[in-house]
């Protein structure tokens, strides 16, 4: 990826600073909202979401052999196995579009094929069982089922299309040594490594389990005991690290974790700031783009309304489960059912911060293709749903 020349960066910053219209209340509120959103992101998504995800990605880098990744996720792997494992793995994590990034980056760099990696990237935030259940309860059974079925189908179909388009490039990537990581231990059985990885995943899932907005039986019970389970997982992690890992392994793990963090965090923070500047915090009308404009543009079930809802969803940042009350509010302001589904399908899986990081991993062309496919299928499904219901 080519770097932007520094003189151009300095000139851009100077011109923005010189012409910044701070006298305009909308602009000043938008700038403030950008930093509010960044603060909310740092408070609620870094310590318990991103940091565990970075540690999982680092552990995958040093513990999981390239051969095993290629066996189950590589371009030559059996498609039914590769895509089933990728979609199920993402579903079990039930995380947001930003938290899935270190894990996606980890398996892709270890040698996973582009198709299964993309399926995992989409399924993690999109196929969230609790979110689908809450969508059904809050917005209706039809839209809840449509969201669930659409997300499951999308994760596989988009992965297959990406694999077909970039098959030659993906094969060249593996032949040129993708997946090689330092001090990789390929001969030892998993043993304690599997226990460590499993405990890290359990901690990530339960520490971030959100409270259901309405009582949902089993999920409400999980929320009540989430910290007990998370604490148990943390104890197992600490015991495993101190009892079984050598000093060299701990050092390698920390180095890999830090590599992922320094590559991803700056882009995420910048993306969250920019998303906050444009749209403000979810549910508030303080960004540069007023919410009532959005509600007006997504009324009815036209091609434009569904497309616009998909694009807004692809750019806006949604924390896990926040998309449901936002869509509920927009529907109350006149949003059509089709555009509502389109936003639900595109929003949780993509965001501006998410796209910036994906571009660093995949490059501009693949990132734009992935985003375009998500927007296309979300728009198409939204129109079909709006027509039927």
More confident residue, 46 or 117: 117
CA distance 176 to 73: 17
More confident residue, 143 or 23: 143
pLDDT reading at 83 higher than 80? yes
CA distance 342 to 143: 10
pLDDT reading at 305 higher than 70? yes
What one-character-per-residue DSSP string does 291-358 give? HHHHHHHTBTT-HHHHHHHHHHHHHS---TTTHHHHHHHHHHTTB-HHHHHHHHHHTTT--HHHHHHH
Confidence of residue 213 (pLDDT cuts 50, 70, 90): low
pLDDT reading at 178 higher than 80? no
pLDDT reading at 241 higher than 60? yes
Average pLDDT score over the chain: 82
pLDDT attached to residue 385? 92
pLDDT reading at 289 higher than 80? no
pLDDT attached to residue 380? 94
Report residue 57 as tokens: 């990605």
pLDDT reading at 386 higher than 80? yes
Average pLDDT over residues 325-351: 84
More confident residue, 50 or 242: 242
pTM for the full model?
0.75
pLDDT attached to residue 215? 57
Type and span of the H or E element at 167: helix 167-175
Confidence of residue 1 (pLDDT cuts 50, 70, 90): very low
Average pLDDT over residues 83-91: 77
Confidence of residue 321 (pLDDT cuts 50, 70, 90): low
pLDDT attached to residue 229? 92
CB atoms within 10 A of CB 31: 17
Report residue 189 as tokens: 């059985």
pLDDT attached to residue 160? 93
Q: What is the pLDDT of residues 246-284, one digit of tens each?
A: 899 999 999 989 988 887 788 778 878 887 787 777 666
Report residue 268 as tokens: 């995420």
Q: What is the pLDDT of residues 179-201, one digit of tens each?
A: 544 444 444 556 788 899 889 98
Report residue 326 as tokens: 């936002």
pLDDT reading at 15 higher than 80? yes
281-306 per-residue burial string, b: 16 or more CB within 10 A, e: under 16 = bbeeebbbbebeebbebbeebbeebb
More confident residue, 341 or 37: 341
CA distance 314 to 311: 5
Q: Which of 15-19, 229-233, 257-261, 278-282 has the highest mean pLDDT?
A: 229-233
Name which of 115-124, 220-229, 276-285 the model is least confident about: 276-285
Report residue 122 as tokens: 């989409």
pLDDT reading at 334 higher than 60? yes
DSSP-assigned letter for residue 2: P
Q: What is the pLDDT of residues 27-68, one digit of tens each?
A: 888 888 888 888 887 887 788 888 888 898 888 878 877 667
Comparing CA positions, the residue from 368, 360, 351 lying closest to residue 275 is 351
């Amino acid at each position: 990826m080519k770097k932007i020349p520094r003189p151009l960066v300095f000139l851009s910053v100077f011109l923005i600073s010189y012409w910044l219209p701070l006298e305009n209340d909308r602009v000043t509120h938008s700038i403030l909202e950008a930093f509010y959103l960044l603060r909310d992101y740092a408070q609620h998504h870094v310590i318990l979401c991103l940091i565990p995800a970075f540690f999982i990605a680092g552990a995958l880098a040093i513990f999981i052999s390239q051969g095993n990744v290629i066996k189950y996720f590589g371009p030559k792997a059996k498609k039914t196995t590769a895509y089933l494992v990728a979609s199920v793995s993402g579903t079990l994590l039930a995380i947001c579009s930003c938290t899935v990034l270190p894990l996606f980056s980890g398996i892709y760099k270890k040698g996973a094929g582009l198709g299964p990696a993309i399926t995992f990237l989409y399924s993690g935030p999109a196929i969230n069982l609790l979110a689908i259940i809450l969508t059904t309860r809050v917005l209706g059974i039809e839209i809840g089922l449509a969201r669930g079925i659409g997300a499951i189908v999308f994760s596989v179909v988009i992965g297959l299309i990406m694999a077909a388009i970039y098959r030659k490039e993906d094969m060249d990537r593996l032949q040129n040594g993708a997946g090689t990581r330092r001090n990789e231990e390929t001969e030892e059985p998993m043993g304690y490594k599997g226990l460590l990885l499993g405990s890290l995943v359990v901690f990530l899932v339960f520490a971030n389990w959100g409270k259901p907005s309405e009582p949902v039986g089993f999920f409400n019970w999980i929320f009540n005991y989430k910290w007990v389970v998370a604490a148990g997982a943390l104890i197992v992690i600490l015991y495993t690290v101190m009892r079984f890992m050598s000093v060299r392994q701990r050092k390698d793990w920390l180095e890999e974790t830090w590599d992922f963090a320094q590559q991803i965090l700056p882009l995420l923070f910048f993306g969250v700031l920019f998303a906050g500047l444009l749209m403000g915090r979810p549910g508030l009308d303080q960004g540069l783009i007023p919410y009532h404009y959005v509600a007006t543009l997504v009324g009815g079930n036209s091609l434009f309304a569904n497309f616009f809802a998909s694009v807004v969803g692809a750019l806006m940042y949604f924390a896990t489960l926040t998309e449901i009350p936002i869509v509920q509010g927009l529907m109350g302001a006149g949003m059509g059912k089709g555009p509502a589904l389109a936003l639900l399908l595109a929003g949780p899986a993509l965001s501006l911060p998410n796209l910036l990081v994906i571009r660093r991993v995949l490059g501009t062309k693949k990132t734009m293709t992935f985003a375009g496919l998500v927007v296309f299928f979300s728009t198409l499904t939204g129109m079909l749903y709006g027509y039927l219901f």
